[in-house]
Amino acid sequence: MAVSVFDLFKIGIGPSSSHTVGPMRAANMFIAQVMSHNLQSRINSIKTELYGSLSHTGRGHGTDKAIILGLLGEEPDTVDPDRIPGLLEQVESEQKIQANESITLQFKIKKHLVWHKRKKLPLHSNGMQFTALDEEGNELLRKAYYSVGGGFILAHSHMAKEHIMEDDSDLPYPFTSGDELIESCNKNNMTIAQIMYANELTWRSQTDIEQQLDQIWQAMESCVQRGVKADGVLPGGLKVARRAPKIYRDLDLKSEKDLADPLTVLDWINMYALAVSEENAAGGRVVTAPTNGAAGIIPAVLHYYKEFVPDSNQQGIRDFLLTAAAVGILYKTKASISGAEVGCQGEVGVASSMAAAGLAAALKLSPDEIENAAEIAMEHNLGLTCDPIGGLVQIPCIERNAMGSIKSINAVRMADRNDGTHTVSLDKVIKTMKETGDDMKEHYKETSRGGLAVNIIEC
Ligand code: SF4
């Protein structure tokens, strides 16, 4: 089992990696299956059924739109967010989906998109099933997929065989735990970033790795730049106003006065996180890091590094991303990065932990200190439930990204001031996170049937 940095950091669209990016990719995969079974001359329509959390919060998360876009052949990293409303209107008015040159599907939304609120597929809360039908309604092909967080998709057959990942590449420096990772660093006299870089060479060249890391950072920067300019109210009906643009204008105008307040840096970090999370909530272009709900944290902490840390540089940004990914891989493979599986500790908690590790690496802390920072950031996110109001990735998600960003930076400062000894290891906190998530009642796991989602009245 091997996971790349670029499996964790993917350029996509908001608002949700599990409920938007994942279903879009699953729809792409099903069309590819239809083609590989040579069904293009017989297929007339595709029925998509959504189960569990996908059904509970899918409308707010844009799952229906994502499925239609996926069936249209659009992909999360290349679809133009500005074209999406037009594409959806066309499907609705024509009641047809042009999947590719050889497949035209009949599509009536109520008939071909079915929400099963009271049912779950057996292996994960985010289940969906696609059925290809001929003109008489006879079944030609059926496939179930699970969206397991961070835009990762697994076919039912792979889940059933407990194949967590499909890639079995041999890596030069494999690790399956935080302890193994640190041991490998110490034994080989390498940093975590160097270990990740060497592993990444399994899949791509040096030039490609660096270009792709830089593209991820540029996408994060662009997202902040768009987020601070886009005033207005977020879609979905909660009437949540964007806050990042006003904070940005205030900070930009009052910079001299603000120097008297040393905590102004917190306003900047909050603003970066809000800008990205608001873009995500609006369905804009974001980097899944490691999920969309928590997509604001790593960009916010990276901007803090770039703008506020003396001598910050491009190598520091690359080391940040590589190290954050190493920690993300541990959560992905040992626990979960899915709010529907373990609550928001799996999204905001994991992103905070990854960002803490990344910042610690950019600041050249030792592998032990990086592990400590990652552990601290998660330890104080344990038990964080997923309870988005109205099924929208807005409240509490947007502010939670700002809080998670500050927590990451504080974790690094605490680890840096520590003498190196700590009682709770990263591995133990990952294990605890998984067990806590397993024990959490279902309604706290991205169903919008618990927590803030039921105590705040939608108007
Ligand atoms: S509450 Fe957390 S896990 Fe749930 S949708 Fe919001 S960011 Fe994601």
Q: What is the pLDDT along the chain (459 residues), one digit of tens a residue?
A: 689 999 999 999 999 999 999 999 999 999 999 999 999 999 999 999 999 999 999 998 999 999 999 999 999 999 999 899 999 999 999 999 999 999 999 999 999 999 998 899 988 889 999 999 999 999 999 999 999 988 899 987 766 544 444 578 899 999 999 999 999 999 999 999 999 999 999 999 999 999 999 999 999 999 999 999 999 999 999 999 999 999 999 998 876 666 688 899 999 999 999 999 999 999 999 999 999 999 999 999 999 999 999 999 999 999 999 999 999 999 999 999 999 999 999 999 999 999 999 999 999 999 999 999 999 999 999 999 999 999 899 999 999 999 999 999 999 999 999 987 899 999 999 999 999 999 999 999 988 888 999 998 655
Strand ranges inside 119-250, DSSP E: 127-133, 139-147, 153-155
Mutate to test the pocket of ligand 1, among 347, 389, 403 (most ligand atoms within 8 A of CB): 347
Omega of the bond prior to 396 within 30 degrees of 0, cis?
Answer: yes
Distance (Å, whole) CA 405 – CA 407: 5
Q: Which residues sit with their C-beta closer than 6 Å to ligand 1? A: 293-294, 339, 344, 347-348, 386-388, 393, 396-397, 400, 446
Per-position DSSP letters for 182-195, written without gaps between them = HHHHHHHT--HHHH
Q: What would you report as the CA-atom Rg of the chain, rounded to the nearest whole angstrom? A: 22
Tell me how far the alpha carbon of residue 60 lies from the centroid of ligand 1, in angstroms. Answer: 12
pTM (2 decimals)? 0.91
For 312-342, b/e burial (b = at least 16 CB within 10 A) is beeebbbbbbbbbbbbbbbbbbbbbbbbbbb
**Atom 4, ligand 1: which residue's CA is nearest?**
386
Query: Closest Cα partner for 303 from 366, 248, 344?
Result: 248
How many CB atoms are closer than 10 A to CB 147? 32
How many CB atoms are closer than 10 A to CB 90? 13
Domains parsed from the chain with CATH numbers: 17-160 (3.30.1330.90), 178-455 (no CATH)
- For residue 181, the model assigns a pLDDT of 98
- For residue 165, the model assigns a pLDDT of 45
Tell me how far the alpha carbon of residue 446 lies from the centroid of ligand 1, in angstroms. Answer: 7
- For residue 257, the model assigns a pLDDT of 64
Strand ranges inside 250-391, DSSP E: 285-288
Tell me how far the alpha carbon of residue 281 lies from the centroid of ligand 1, in angstroms. Answer: 11
Query: Closest Cα partner for 61 from 414, 404, 435, 338?
Result: 338
How many CB atoms are closer than 10 A to CB 88? 16
CA 441 from chain centre, in angstroms, equals 22
